[in-house]
Structure 1
Amino acid sequence: MIYSLTFLLIVLLAYVRNLRDAHEDQRVKLFKTLGIEEPRKKKIVGFFHPYCNAGGGGERVLWAAVSFIQRTEPDVISVVYSGDKDATKEQIIAKVKSRFDITLSPDTLHFVFLDSREYVEDAKWPRFTLLGQSLGSMYLAWEAVSQLVPDLYIDTMGYAFTFFAVSWLTGVPIGAYVHYPTISTDMLARIQSRKTTHTNSDAIASSPILSRGKLLYYRIFMYHYAQALRHASFIMVNSSWTKNHVDSILAYSDPLLDALHMPLEVIILPLRLIFKYILPTVSANKIPRTTPKEALIVCPSCDTREMSKLPLEGRERMVISICQFRPEKDHPAQLRALSELLRNYPQYRAPFTGIDGGVKLVLIGGSRNDGDAARIEGLRQLAKDLDIEVHLMFALDQLTLAYPKFSHAQDHVEFAVNAPFPEMLTYLARASIGLNTMVDEHFGINVVEYMAAGLIPISHASGGPLHDIIVPYDGQPTGFHARDPASFAEAIYKALSLPKEEELALRQRARARAVEAFSEQAFEEGWKASGWRQWL
């Protein structure tokens, strides 16, 4: 047994040494690809973002950061580890411009395309999804750094377990931008209270034995998630809600698991010392590694300049929702809220004609894969079942989403799948209300976009929209909060029923709040304050 372990250790050390020694060859190949003739002063920042081409709020943060680095750090090469193999570098840059109006230079941007992204998809792990995705992310990180080792590794999508692999294999500094903790104390509380959610099925919630088993599983996962986060040298988060959770996770301890973990630590400690002091390190940085005690809030940027130019008056009786078609966004609640509104206030069942007449709900969002496409089809069927129907569905990016088109005078729902930035601006210029129904939305960049564009925001009373975004401005409200379809329906009715002067004042306050707090400049100042540059 001892001989086998010794042999495996020797093989592992040999592999890691070979990986680190290959670092210079990888750099030379990269600089040659980019046409860089004097690479000695260049540094490489690697962004781990397997879904960089998805077009959501998390992707906007990634590209805003890359754009900022390109404009302010000419000697830094941004490398994005992506699983979007179906798109070229030029196509991704073009989509970023179309979706976010962010301009990227191809000269200091490189992509490392990954083959194993399927291992971080929830469909791959129907059971023990959190564990499966986390182990899959470690494998994906190995695939990433085996192709190119950066000077600084930054995860911008939320795969903290990759920090184990990157730290052990490369020794480079690690940073993180956390949109949403993989697990939180709220999730533990929901399991303990046996509440049914999209992450806790009714079969488990209704069983005391299964609930206790899942609670233990979550405790163990939380313990190791905290260990992973402590590998980072700096952590940025997108809201006070996320900061509170991440800070509590960084300080998390479990006496029982600590005791069980102690023998393993005795075995691992010599291995850590070997990795730290014997193997060649890729990074020349001599700054002592420190575990962050707390996270820094760096709110995502929003293109408030363009959106704040949109007119505040003459808005149509249109409610829009801008978010990816993911289960946690809870689009069914939006359809049920519309159904509730039409049932309680039948005057809104009139044909939609714009400023007067009936109400229309437009669902705008990105579809990433077959799972999202199936959800869209399910939402279309739900709209039919609720007797609110579907007016129009169209897909601008994915030919696989060539849905049939529907047109009827009494239809009140419209889908805009993968709509580009100019199309989204058109909806923002016309609509009266912006809707967000996700529970514990970590930030809510869509809510910021609503407010900057002059819409009246209505969000779930939790997370970032409650604590950071839809908050009083000059002591006056900037929008509405709700908790279920019935209260969302009432909030929509209140927003549509406001006297003209009060409505205009509310839109003005919401816009002022968004422009002042969530501008591109504020994001860049926060990114700079994180201290990321010192780790190069």
Structure 2
Amino acid sequence: MVAQSRAMGETENDRNAAPTVFPEPVIQTTQEEAPSYQTAWLLLYSLIIALSIFLLMIVIVKLISVWNTRKNFKKWQFNLLSHPPVVVGFFHPYCNAGGGGERVLWQSIRALQSRYNFIRCIVYTGDRANKESIFSKVKNRFGIDLARGAIEFVYLKRRGCVEAEKWPRFTLLGQSIGSFFLGLEGFLNFVPDVYIDTMGYAFTLPLFRWIGRCKTASYVHYPVISQDMLQVVQNRENTFNNARWISRSRFLTKCKLYYYRLFAKFYGFVGRRSNVVMVNSTWTHRHISKLWGCGRLFIVYPPCDTSTFQQLPIARSGKHFTIISIGQFRPEKKHEVQLEVLKEFLSYVRPEIRKNVKLVLVGGCRNSEDDARVTILKNLAKSLHIDKNVRFELNIPFQDLQNELKNAKVALHTMENEHFGIVLPECMAAGCVMVAHNSGGPKDDIVVDWQGNKVGYLADDKENMASCLVEVLNSSDMDRRTMAEAARASVDAKFSVSVFEASFLRATEDLFG
């Protein structure tokens, strides 16, 4: 069954995805008040020193005698075969989070257990939950049955070093170096035969491949750095990951560009230490192939629980026109754009119909910052005079999510360059007509015509999105149902659990040959 956290709006690139840029505070300054050249050079020197420390740590670890860690295998309570099994280590510090990334982890383990009888698995995790509690959550949230005796855990104590909150400056570099030390902790506890990073911590790969002599693989949900991020800085755009005091200064912009480009080189270097690379979408494939330059690169779409949502009735009757949005209340999800789209849409609707229109924002709030964003959105709805047409559903259970989807005619998704967007296939499987931004995974993989039939709408801006909503409103029940049925068939054929398992096993078969 789909994770309850997904019911709260978690997507594949939530806290379980690869390390992301922590929003830098926006400081209202004038050009004269911006940091000095000396500060900028200090920034560059700090980067060089940090990279030097990272390289020094590799040399130090190289000198550590850790080969006897393979003897630690005796302490794992596996049911050994007549010959030693192949031990596969999965690096997933948030294995108990219950999001889309965790479904990838557990479905991967399930696929290996189904095919190979000599596989035993180790999961490197920072969660403190006990073994049975983790397995129980996997069963309840994902409906995945595992051979529990063939799985053990290495509990990591230093997971905090990869938290974005720990690195308010140099977030990319800080999290990457932190992931190396977290990987080192796991490495010193146990060295597997095959090492698979399923969270995007590429800086752990050299450690296990060079020193541990492991075969390595990666499943990349989202590139740590991308050409889009470089373009934002180069264009001097003020966004959540490019503070105003940097975007207003040509010199600081150049410094940040050098920092990003140098980091991208290191990111590509460590990424190429992976024998097999799997990515979750065409968009991610495009960026990783350019950054890593690796040969064996497979698109393995994440497993979507399409079968559960297909049980919902596809017919949508009644005079109410409900639009649903599912996603955590994070800045990049652009919920404020959804409110502006609704405002634009209502301007085209007759008053007698307008009262039956409702936008339902379903999402999870991770912390006080997310709670504050919800408050801002509620105030924005009031200022736009659409608050009577908006309803917020926070942290709701899965059953309530199903009820919301059952009543919705349209699903709205406004994030730009969404790498995949696991909620899109799920909404389409539930029978909603999808309206999404014309970029990333929705454009390349999901909202794509199926067997000559249209499966949804793509739009570049709020005006076009509003026009798409008008078109759905004015379409007949038969036309809407035809589109919904085509969408349901397409996501089942491309993103189901069985498709994921077959793709994952095909990509990794050389690791066990």
Q: Give the 3 Å change call, closer, same or farther, for CA 121–306 of structure 1 in structure 2.
A: same
2:487 is the alignment partner of 1:440: no
Contact 1:364 1:416 (C-alpha < 8 Å) held by counterparts: yes
Q: Give the 3 Å change call, closer, same or farther, for CA 217–303 of structure 1 in structure 2.
A: same
2:56 is the alignment partner of 1:52: no
2:75 is the alignment partner of 1:29: yes
The letter for the 2-side match of 1:46 is: G
The match for 1:414 is 392
* Cα root mean square deviation, aligned: 2.8
- How many angstroms does 1:168 deviate by? 3.9
The match for 1:113 is 155
- How many angstroms does 1:214 deviate by? 0.6
2:509 is the alignment partner of 1:509: no
Percent of residue pairs identical: 36
Contact 1:52 1:82 (C-alpha < 8 Å) held by counterparts: yes
- How many angstroms does 1:479 deviate by? 0.7
The match for 2:123 is 80
> 2 CA distance for matches of 1:343 and 1:447?
26
> 2 CA distance for matches of 1:454 and 1:435?
13
Contact 1:250 1:293 (C-alpha < 8 Å) held by counterparts: no
Contact 1:339 1:388 (C-alpha < 8 Å) held by counterparts: no
> 2 CA distance for matches of 1:484 and 1:202?
24
The match for 1:20 is 67
> 2 CA distance for matches of 1:388 and 1:44?
58
- How many angstroms does 1:443 deviate by? 1.3
- How many angstroms does 1:507 deviate by? 0.6
> 2 CA distance for matches of 1:122 and 1:8?
22
> 1 CA distance for matches of 2:346 and 2:217?
48
> 2 CA distance for matches of 1:83 and 1:8?
22
Match of 2:475 among 498, 504, 510: 498
Q: TM-score, normalised by structure 2?
A: 0.81
The match for 1:311 is 313
The match for 1:69 is 112
Q: Give the 3 Å change call, closer, same or farther, for CA 159–197 of structure 1 in structure 2.
A: same
Contact 2:281 2:420 (C-alpha < 8 Å) held by counterparts: yes
The match for 1:320 is 324
- How many angstroms does 1:323 deviate by? 3.1
The match for 2:6 is none
Q: Considering Cα pairs closer than 8 Å and 6+ residues apart, tell me whether 1 or 2 has the greater RCO.
A: 2
The letter for the 2-side match of 1:378 is: R
| Residues paired across the two proteins, number | 456
Contact 2:92 2:125 (C-alpha < 8 Å) held by counterparts: yes
Q: Give the 3 Å change call, closer, same or farther, for CA 62–349 of structure 1 in structure 2.
A: farther
2:372 is the alignment partner of 1:377: yes
The match for 2:300 is 298
What does 1:397-412 align with in structure 2 at a 5 Å threshold?
Answer: 410=388, 412=390
- How many angstroms does 1:453 deviate by? 1.4
- How many angstroms does 1:388 deviate by? 8.3
Contact 1:247 1:294 (C-alpha < 8 Å) held by counterparts: no
Contact 1:349 1:359 (C-alpha < 8 Å) held by counterparts: no
The letter for the 1-side match of 2:322 is: M
Q: Give the 3 Å change call, closer, same or farther, for CA 191–110 of structure 1 in structure 2.
A: same
> 1 CA distance for matches of 2:103 and 2:142?
7
> 1 CA distance for matches of 2:115 and 2:260?
42
The match for 1:364 is 363
Contact 1:66 1:78 (C-alpha < 8 Å) held by counterparts: yes
> 1 CA distance for matches of 2:58 and 2:330?
42
The letter for the 1-side match of 2:69 is: A
- How many angstroms does 1:501 deviate by? 1.6
Contact 1:332 1:379 (C-alpha < 8 Å) held by counterparts: no
What does 1:220-369 align with in structure 2 at a 5 Å threshold?
Answer: 220-251=262-293, 292-314=294-316, 317-342=321-346, 345=349, 347=351, 357-365=356-364, 367=365, 369=366
- Ranges in structure 1 where 5+ consecutive residues have no aligned partner: 1-6, 252-291, 352-356, 392-407
Residues 416-454 of structure 1: per-residue CA shift (max 9 Å, x gap) = 31x444443333322222222221111122111111111
Q: Give the 3 Å change call, closer, same or farther, for CA 13–241 of structure 1 in structure 2.
A: closer
The match for 2:27 is none
Q: Give the 3 Å change call, closer, same or farther, for CA 54–12 of structure 1 in structure 2.
A: closer
Q: Give the 3 Å change call, closer, same or farther, for CA 220–9 of structure 1 in structure 2.
A: closer
Residues 131-161 of structure 1: per-residue CA shift (max 9 Å, x gap) = 1111011011111122222111111111111
Q: Give the 3 Å change call, closer, same or farther, for CA 116–313 of structure 1 in structure 2.
A: same
Q: Give the 3 Å change call, closer, same or farther, for CA 349–107 of structure 1 in structure 2.
A: farther
The match for 1:134 is 176
> 2 CA distance for matches of 1:153 and 1:80?
10
- Ranges in structure 2 where 5+ consecutive residues have no aligned partner: 1-55
> 2 CA distance for matches of 1:482 and 1:188?
24
> 2 CA distance for matches of 1:83 and 1:320?
34
Q: Give the 3 Å change call, closer, same or farther, for CA 329–63 of structure 1 in structure 2.
A: farther
Contact 1:459 1:482 (C-alpha < 8 Å) held by counterparts: yes
The letter for the 2-side match of 1:28 is: K
